[in-house]
Structure 1
Amino acid sequence: MGENRGENDAEHEPLGAADAFGYRRPIGAFSTNLPRLSASAFDAQGFSDRGGLTGGMDKPLSVTDARRLPDLGMALKSIVGFWLLYMALVTVRAIVLQYPEFWGMLARRCAATAIGAVITFFIYLAMRAARNASLARKATLAGILCLPAALLFSATNYTIFYVIAPLDSMMMEWDTHGLTPLMLALKSIVESSLSWYFLFAAWSAFYVAMSYARELRISDQRAAVFAREAQEAQLRALRYQINPHFLFNTLNSLSSLVLSKRTETAERMLMNLSTFFRATLSADPTADVPLEEEIKLQRLYLDIEQIRFPDRLTVEIDVPDELLDTCVPVLILQPVVENAVKYGVARSRGAVTIRINAHEEAGRLHIKVKDNGEGVAGENGEDGGGTGVGLRNVRERLIARFGDRAGCLHGPDLDGGYTVHLYMPVARG
């Protein structure tokens, strides 16, 4: 590890070149390798985008509709459209067949169409009573309701055309049957009821299908909301495991500093710890943050560890500029870096370098955290004998957030040390 240098030398170093402490791309004003500086000294700067830390996931869809007739709009549109189509078809037929007294008949057709629409609306109201019934029951109820509706409309239609001021053409048709008015009325109503029944049944089938599709859509929305809430709860549970684990380790170190009467160092660690928790506790556990902010948080943490290991900890960070705005789950690197310090630095006798690098490949962001220490993490990367957080927490958070598109690979290196490899889809805010 190289000699310590003054701040002025570091400031004039070209961007991209590694300084004496291994930083290749300085991000912001945080430092982990300058004992004279504290992260709390830069508190005024803060993070460039606190919204990235506090912004949560999209608000869940609202699927609650307190209206008594939530599908009224759909029903009215279908009724109006259905009867307008009927009106258009019978009018075209009258024109093609050149029915006599066209305009007088047209007025009566309009009246019959309006009455048919009203009767259909009452079918809709009656079917709303069975809105929570099964599809088979709804279909059965619709079939039953269409029978009186067809009889009522047939009687109304007969009254409009044959009873209320019948036209000459209607009178001629009446006379040709040679039946009494009562018998003719009954015969006409019964015969035409069958045709009107299928007309109402056609609309009822359409309405039942549309209402069922709407219920399925609402159910899917509810399921999506519940799934999202469950995922957020899981992410929060996993995320909230980190702070107590880290705080426990830091307080142990702080206790050692106090017992050894290194009060100034202990005070600086307390200030850094306060700054770290002020930044992390305000973060939404389900939020994603730019990789640049995540690196800042890890440098802030490593600034605390630098106080514990002033001569044994060196950090190299190599993140291309074009990846700094990619989004990652907040504090996803915290357990990884903490394990590198706990097992790589704390258990080694000599100087240890922790390297963090990132690259993009095939639409995925790859982040590697490597240390060349002598210690090796416990089984499966866990804190062997510790609280059981570690890399399992990272893996579960990535799976909860991205599914099988993300993961965590880790293991000892052949040339010594330990490497943790995270991969996830590339996403930019």
Structure 2
Amino acid sequence: MGLDQPFFDDKNRAFWILQTIGWSGYFFLRTISGFAGGLGWMLLVHTLLLTATGYSLTLLMASLFRRLIKVKPVWTLLLSLACVIIASGTFSIIETWSVATFLKPGFKPEGIAYLSALFVDFALLAAWTALYYGINYFLLLEEQIDQRERLEHAASSAQLAMLRYQLNPHFLFNTLNSISTLVLLKQTERANAMLARLSSFLRYTLVNEPTAKVTLAQEVETLKLYLEIEKMRFEDRLRPHFKIESETIGARLPSLLLQPLIENAIKYAVTPSEDGADIWLTAAREGQAVRIEVADNGTSEGTDIAASPSTGVGLANIRDRLSQAYGAAHRFETRQNDRGGFSVIIEIPYETGETA
């Protein structure tokens, strides 16, 4: 069978194994008890006949029960009970005849006497029936649990994909407008450079699996692609700073999780200011968690930014993605920082390629 294969993985094989083991045990116990009671060697013929009868009857019962298990429970109960009673009666008649034929030739049963073993046989077949339904209902329950887990996983993956594709398209429109302007101004080299960087960034967003996790190093490289595009628009007004601790670069997180935060910082800190703004991305290991902060020194109030409809959508998107990916095992916080700007703090479990 193989130790790595679940016993009930092949239900048909498992049934025949259990059926054979069960009735072999019945034959052994009946034979031992008969010899202990002083019965002769004809007991073997008698016990073998009873074992074959029980084996055959339960095969017929199993064939019926496979259909009954799919109907309403009340009908399953009533029809199964009727089946056990009929099978017990048949078993008792054969057992009584076998006793009279092989063990007690002088015994001449008549009429109701053929049902002398009815209660014992009923108990035996009822126990077999209970075991049959018990095992099969357990397997049905396991199948339903597995199916529900598959559906939940599919729904979660679909939700993550939807959230990943809900990226704010403003930057794409702005970038295309900038490229168009550079072309009109005949600054073809800058237009080509911006177009190449946009192509690299979009290729990453399309090729990467939307439900996959990437390392923080990969996420930072993607952010740098995005920032190179924005730097061509804002030049010295956009001043990004990265402070990534070395032990966090292999930590895994949902892809493109941080891009909306950088985009919000550009929109609400860099764009409104003539002097632009600084944006800091920091990542540090804290125990079994990774703390990531995106901060700016813009002049906007943090509460106003958080309440903005467009930013609210971005922040809600990130909250939902974190909930889908980590459940309650994460922290998401927004606040005004000591630089006078806005900060978003994320704490997620520290996962690497082996633990993710």
Residue 40 of structure 1: aligned partner: none
Distance 1:294 1:360, change over 3 A: same
Shift of 1:116: 0.6
Shift of 1:260: 4.9
Residue 171 of structure 1: aligned partner: 105
Distance 1:245 1:157, change over 3 A: farther
User: TM-score, normalised on structure 1?
Assistant: 0.74
Residue 125 of structure 1: aligned partner: 63
Shift of 1:351: 5.0
Residue 293 of structure 1: aligned partner: 218
Distance in 1, matches of 2:293 and 2:56, equals 70
Match of 2:256 among 311, 331, 342: 331
Cα deviation code 1:266-314 (max 9, x no counterpart): 2211111011111221111111111111111111111111111221222
Residue 177 of structure 1: aligned partner: none
Match of 2:123 among 183, 187, 198: 198
Residue 26 of structure 2: aligned partner: 86
Does the alignment pair 1:77 with 2:20?
A: no
Shift of 1:378: 7.3
Residue 140 of structure 2: aligned partner: 215
Match of 2:87 among 149, 157, 168: 149
Larger RCO: 1 or 2 (CA < 8 Å, sep 6+): 1
Residue 230 of structure 1: aligned partner: 155
Alignment of 1:51-66 (within 5 A): none
Name whichever structure is richer in helix by fraction. Answer: 2
Does the alignment pair 1:319 with 2:244?
A: yes
**Secondary structure at 2:105's aligned position in 1?**
helix
Instruction: Give 1:428's aligned amino acid.
Output: T
Match of 2:202 among 242, 259, 277: 277
**Secondary structure at 2:327's aligned position in 1?**
helix
Shift of 1:414: 3.3
Alignment of 1:177-188 (within 5 A): 181=108, 184-188=109-113
Alignment of 1:92-107 (within 5 A): 92-97=32-37, 99-101=38-40, 103-107=41-45
Shift of 1:206: 1.3
Distance 1:246 1:152, change over 3 A: farther
Residue 5 of structure 2: aligned partner: none
Cα deviation code 1:146-186 (max 9, x no counterpart): 111111112222333423xx35xx225x2xxxxxx3xx143
Distance in 1, matches of 2:92 and 2:25, equals 18
Distance in 2, matches of 1:124 and 1:100, equals 33
Contact 2:282 2:292 in 1 (8 A): yes
Residue 111 of structure 1: aligned partner: 49
Instruction: Give 2:174's aligned amino acid.
Output: N
Cα deviation code 1:221-261 (max 9, x no counterpart): 11111111111111111111116343223224334444555
Distance 1:252 1:405, change over 3 A: farther
Shift of 1:71: 4.2
Alignment of 1:391-406 (within 5 A): 391-406=315-330
**For the aligned residues, what is the CA RMSD?**
2.3
Instruction: Give 2:105's aligned amino acid.
Output: M
**Range that drifts further, 328-337 or 134-143:** 134-143
**Range that drifts further, 242-251 or 333-342:** 242-251
Contact 1:320 1:359 in 2 (8 A): yes
Cα deviation code 1:89-142 (max 9, x no counterpart): 223323433x231x3312331232122111001101111222222444323222
Contact 1:326 1:428 in 2 (8 A): yes
Shift of 1:334: 0.8
Instruction: Give 1:150's aligned amino acid.
Output: S
Cα deviation code 1:314-352 (max 9, x no counterpart): 222222222211110010011011111222222222253
Distance 1:280 1:416, change over 3 A: same
Contact 2:217 2:250 in 1 (8 A): yes
Contact 1:381 1:392 in 2 (8 A): no
Distance in 1, matches of 2:276 and 2:312, equals 27
Distance in 2, matches of 1:144 and 1:74, equals 26
Distance in 2, matches of 1:255 and 1:346, equals 20
Instruction: Give 1:128's aligned amino acid.
Output: R
Distance in 1, matches of 2:14 and 2:76, equals 17
Does the alignment pair 1:265 with 2:265?
A: no
Does the alignment pair 1:158 with 2:92?
A: no
Distance in 2, matches of 1:107 and 1:224, equals 52
Residue 413 of structure 1: aligned partner: 337
Contact 1:339 1:377 in 2 (8 A): no
Instruction: Give 1:94's aligned amino acid.
Output: G
Q: Number of matched residues?
A: 344
Residue 352 of structure 1: aligned partner: 277
Contact 1:71 1:211 in 2 (8 A): no
Distance in 2, matches of 1:375 and 1:252, equals 26
Residue 250 of structure 1: aligned partner: 175
Instruction: Give 1:117's aligned amino acid.
Output: Y
Shift of 1:74: 4.0
Distance in 1, matches of 2:324 and 2:170, equals 21
Distance 1:270 1:376, change over 3 A: farther
Give the unaligned 5+ runs of structure 2. 1-9
Instruction: Give 2:58's aligned amino acid.
Output: T
Distance in 2, matches of 1:373 and 1:262, equals 31
Distance in 2, matches of 1:246 and 1:233, equals 24
Distance 1:246 1:104, change over 3 A: farther
Percent of aligned positions that are identical: 32
